[in-house]
Structure 1
Amino acid sequence: MTTDTTMTAAVYRRFGAPEEVRLEQRAIPSPKPGEVLIRVHASTVSIADHRARARDVPAGLGLIAAVGIGLFRPKHPILGMDAAGVVEAVGSGVTTFAPGDRVIAAMGGAFGGHAEFVCVPADGAITRAPASMSLEEAVTLVFGGITVQGFFAQVAIGPGTSVLVNGASGAVGTAAIQLAKHRGAVVTAVTSGRNAALVASLGADRVIDYTRQDFAAGDETYDVIVDGVGNASFDRVEGSISPGGALLLVVGDLRSMLRSRGQSRRSGKLVTWNVGKPGADALAHLVRLADSGHYQAVIDRTFDLADIVDAHRYVDTGRKRGNVVLRMPSALTETRRTS
C-alpha cells in the first residue's frame, strides 16, 4: 500500500459554475471491512456531475435531488460516479479482490471518483477491468453502460426489435446503441447531423437529425424508445410507441415520473424512469462484451485532473460525444513507468 497519507482530489464546496471546483489535498481513505481501496487512474465527467455541481435538475426535482446532492451545500464534495484503477488495499473480509487487480467501479450517488483514491464496497458495482482496454478506455463502460443495462433489464429486446435512441451521441446514447445492436435490435439514432457518422459507426441502422426532423411527428412506431434528453414525454411520443412497447425515461421531470404508472396502466405501454440498481454482474457483462469486441469505448476528450475546471466547462456546453475522461496523476506515473 502507498506510504503517502494525502491525495489530490477535485472538491467543490458550493453549488455553481465550474470554477467552484478546486484541487485540494485530502487524507487517503482507509478501506473499512468489506471495502476495496482503488488507486484511481481514470474517471469521467458526466452529465450527472454537471447536474450535481450546478444543481441543474429536471423540473420539480429540486427537493428530491437535495436528498442526494445536498440542499444548501454539497453533500458529496468530491464528484465522479465511476472509476477505473488498480486495487491498492482491501479491508478485512474481502477475498474477491487483491492488491494489483485492475478494476472498474460505479459509485453512483455516493460519487468520489474525481480523486486519486476511492473506497468502494467489494460486493458493490465493481469488477475486473477488460484486458483489451486501457483503464482510460475501460472507465467509459461504466456510467452509460450500467445505466442502459438497468433500463434494458425491464424490456424484451431481441432480433428485430425496433429501438429508437433519443440523444444517441451522449454517454448513455452511445451505450444504448451498442447494447441494443448486440441483442439484434434495429436501431434508430436521434442526434445532430454532425454526430451521424459516430452513431452509424456504433451500429445505428438509421439516423434522424433532430434539427431537420421530429421523430415523433410521423407515423412510424418503435418497440422501445430510450429518452436520454428529457424532451420525449409520453404525451409527445405515445403515438410513436408500438402496442405493448416501452418508453425508458433516462431523463425525466417530476411530472413525468408521477404520471408514469398511470400512463403504463392506461396505455398498456411501459413508461418507466426507474433504472434499478445494476451491480457487478452488469459491469462484468460489459467487460465481456468489450473483450469480445462487441463494445467499444467512445471518448470525446480527455482532461488531466489539473484541468478539471476545463473539463466541467466542456461538459456544460451539452455538446460532448460519448464520454469525457478525467485522467489522474497516477495514470501519468504508470505510463512513464511502462514506456
Structure 2
Amino acid sequence: MHEEVTGELFLRPPEERMVKMKAVIWTGYGGPQVLVPSEIETPVPRENEILLKIHSASVTAGDCEMRRLELPLGLSLPVRLYAGWRKPRRIKIPGQEFSGEVVKTGSPVSKFSVGDMLCGTTGFRFGAYAEYICVSESPDEMSGVMAGKPENLSMVEASALPTAGMEALHYLKESKLEKGHKLLIIGAGGSIGSFALQAARHMGIRVTAVDSGDKLQMLSDLGAERVIDYASDESPGSTGEFDSAIDMVGGRGVLKRLGYVRPGGSYFLAFAYIRHLLLAPFIRLLLGKKLNITSSSQSQEELQRLIHFTGTACISPVIHKCFPLSEAAEAHRFAESGVKQGNIVLTAQN
C-alpha cells in the first residue's frame, strides 16, 4: 500500500527518492484506528509550488466527520464517490489546517520565500497530517488558502486559526450585530464557538454561552456575560431575548432554541441536515426569523481579514491539548470524546 501511496503522490528524480517523512495514512472509513502512522517519500515542489515543513496541524470536527464519512446535508455519497467507494484512494493523508515554514520553492515562485512562516488550509487536497507538504503558491478555490502567520500567535495556535476563525467572523459579519447587541452561542466551548465568543466580546457584543459544565469556567474567562450548563434546567434567556444565535450543536432542538431569537434576527446553524434546509423558508415566512445555513467562502480575502482582525484584537484560538503526529488516532478519539475545550492540535516537528 505504501508503494502505491508514494507512487501516486510524489514524482521525483532517482537521487531524491530515499528521503522519507512521517505521515498519517487514511486507510479506510470508520473509527480512529483507520489513521495509521507511516513513512513515505517527502514531496518535492514542482513548478509554482512551495514545500512546507509542517509544524502543526489541527484536528477538527470536519476531520473526524470525513474519517467516519458521516457528513451533513447528504454529502457522504458524493464525497465517497470522489475519495473512493470502499476506502479512500484519492485522498491518502488527512488534515486540512496547518502552520509551517517554507523550506523550498519551485520555479517560478514569487509570493513566498524560504523561511516564511505560514498558516492556512489545504481544501480538498487534504495532506496536513504529515511532516511536509507541497502546495501551490496560488491555490485554486478547492485547494485551500494560506498567508503569513499572525505575529501574535504561536505556530500551534496558528494551525487552529483558519477554519474556525473564518467561520466565526462570517457568522458575526452576517448577523450585523453591533455593540450592545445580545448573542447566544450554543456549543460555545469548541473551536468555532470559543473564537466567536472572543471576537464578539472584542466587538462589544454581549454573549451568553451554552456548553457542558466542565467548559463553563473557560467560557467565563473568555468573556461570556453569562454561562449555562446545557444539562441543567436553566434557560439561556427569555423568548426573543437575543439578536442572533450561533448553534454549533444542531439536532432536534433547533426549533425550540429559535424561540430565543427576536423576530428579524438570525440563527446560524453550523451542522445542518436536509430537513433544516427545507424548514428555513417557512421559518422566515411564519416566524420572521432567518435560519442561516451558510458558511464562509474560505477565500484568500477572508483569511487576510481574519489575520488582520486577530492581530488587532489580540485574541487567539484556545488550545486544549497537543498530540504528536504519531498519535493522530488518539487525538481523534479525544476530539470526539466531548470534553475538548477549543482545539486539538497535532505537532509534526519535535
Q: Same fold (TM over 0.5)?
A: yes
Unaligned segments of structure 1, at least 5 residues: 333-339
Describe how 1:168-247 pairs up with structure 2 within 5 A: 168-213=188-233, 215=235, 218-231=238-251, 234-247=254-267
User: What is the CA–CA distance in structure 2 between the aligned matches of 1:215 and 1:32, rounded to whole Å?
Assistant: 57
Q: 1:295 to 1:35 in 2, by over 3 A?
A: same
Q: Give the match for residue 9 of structure 2.
A: none
Q: Give the match for residue 99 of structure 2.
A: 84
Unaligned segments of structure 2, at least 5 residues: 1-15, 140-144
Describe how 1:135-150 pairs up with structure 2 within 5 A: 135-150=155-170
Aligned residue among 134, 147, 153 for 1:127: 147
Q: Give the match for residue 336 of structure 1.
A: none
RMSD (Å) for aligned C-alpha atoms:
2.4
Q: Give the match for residue 118 of structure 1.
A: 133
Query: Residue deviations 1:245-278, cap 9 Å, x none?
Result: 1111111112113332443355432222221312
Q: Which amino acid aligns with 1:111?
A: F
User: What is the CA–CA distance in structure 2 between the aligned matches of 1:254 and 1:296, rounded to whole Å?
Assistant: 33
Query: Residue deviations 1:138-170, cap 9 Å, x none?
Result: 212123112222333322122122111110100
Aligned residue among 154, 157, 182 for 2:174: 154
Query: Residue deviations 1:275-306, cap 9 Å, x none?
Result: 13122333333333443453123111110112
2:125 maps to 1:107 = no
User: What is the CA–CA distance in structure 2 between the aligned matches of 1:197 and 1:129, rounded to whole Å?
Assistant: 29
1:216 positional shift: 6.7
User: What is the CA–CA distance in structure 2 between the aligned matches of 1:306 and 1:193, rounded to whole Å?
Assistant: 31
Q: Which amino acid aligns with 2:122?
A: M
Q: Which amino acid aligns with 1:320?
A: K
Which sits farther off after the overlay, 231-240 or 123-132? 231-240
Q: Give the match for residue 54 of structure 2.
A: 40
Q: Give the match for residue 326 of structure 2.
A: 306
User: What is the CA–CA distance in structure 2 between the aligned matches of 1:301 and 1:268, rounded to whole Å?
Assistant: 42
User: What is the CA–CA distance in structure 1 between the aligned matches of 2:123 and 2:136, rounded to whole Å?
Assistant: 12
State the TM-score, normalized to the length of structure 2: 0.85
Query: Residue deviations 1:62-89, cap 9 Å, x none?
Result: 3244356544222422111100010123
Determine if contact 2:241/2:262 at 8 Å carries over to the other structure: yes
State the TM-score, normalized to the length of structure 1: 0.88
Q: 1:171 to 1:232 in 2, by over 3 A?
A: farther
2:46 maps to 1:26 = no
Partner of 1:153, secondary structure, is helix
Q: 1:213 to 1:77 in 2, by over 3 A?
A: farther
Determine if contact 2:153/2:316 at 8 Å carries over to the other structure: no
Q: 1:287 to 1:313 in 2, by over 3 A?
A: same
User: What is the CA–CA distance in structure 1 between the aligned matches of 2:271 and 2:171, rounded to whole Å?
Assistant: 12
1:184 positional shift: 1.8
1:32 positional shift: 4.2
Q: 1:86 to 1:269 in 2, by over 3 A?
A: same
Q: Which amino acid aligns with 2:39?
A: Q
Which sits farther off after the overlay, 303-312 or 281-290? 281-290
Determine if contact 2:321/2:343 at 8 Å carries over to the other structure: yes
Query: Residue deviations 1:158-206, cap 9 Å, x none?
Result: 2122111110100111011012222221111001121111011111111
Determine if contact 2:183/2:208 at 8 Å carries over to the other structure: yes
Determine if contact 1:61/1:253 at 8 Å carries over to the other structure: no
Identity %: 29
User: What is the CA–CA distance in structure 1 between the aligned matches of 2:150 and 2:193, rounded to whole Å?
Assistant: 21
2:34 maps to 1:14 = no
Determine if contact 2:166/2:296 at 8 Å carries over to the other structure: no
Q: Which amino acid aligns with 1:43?
A: A
Q: 1:121 to 1:158 in 2, by over 3 A?
A: farther
